[in-house]
């Protein structure tokens, strides 16, 4: 993702206790991204709450890809990336 046409690529954003990752919709990419918070949890003793975790797909992502990724992540899909359970 880019903030502007010629701006740098944005791959992730971290907040106080939240983070956002921007990845291609493939099981291999999602599996790699899932390793990041798990490594953090091992290092700092904090656990990821997957019940509060969400995934948003581009409208162009095929349903078969969505299903494979959701099965791999075991988290809930959200239809509106602007609203999630921790906000608004």
* Domain map (residue ranges) of the chain: 25-77
pLDDT in tens, 47-87: 778 888 788 888 888 999 989 888 888 788 888 767 555 55
C-beta separation of 12 from 22 below 8 A: yes
- With vertex at residue 23, the alpha carbon angle to CA 70 and CA 21, rounded to the nearest 5 degrees, is 90
DSSP 7: S
pLDDT of residue 88: 46
Q: Distance (Å, rounded) from C-alpha 13 to C-alpha 52? A: 17
pLDDT in tens, 27-36: 888 888 788 7
């Amino acid at each position: 993702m880019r903030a502007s046409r010629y701006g740098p690529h944005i791959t992730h954003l971290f907040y106080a206790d939240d983070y956002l990752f921007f990845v291609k919709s493939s099981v291999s990419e999602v599996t790699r991204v899932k390793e990041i918070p798990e490594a953090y949890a091992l290092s700092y003793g904090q656990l990821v709450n997957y019940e509060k975790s969400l995934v948003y797909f581009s409208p162009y992502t095929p349903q078969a890809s969505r299903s494979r990724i959701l099965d791999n992540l075991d988290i809930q899909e959200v239809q509106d990336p602007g609203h999630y359970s921790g906000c608004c």
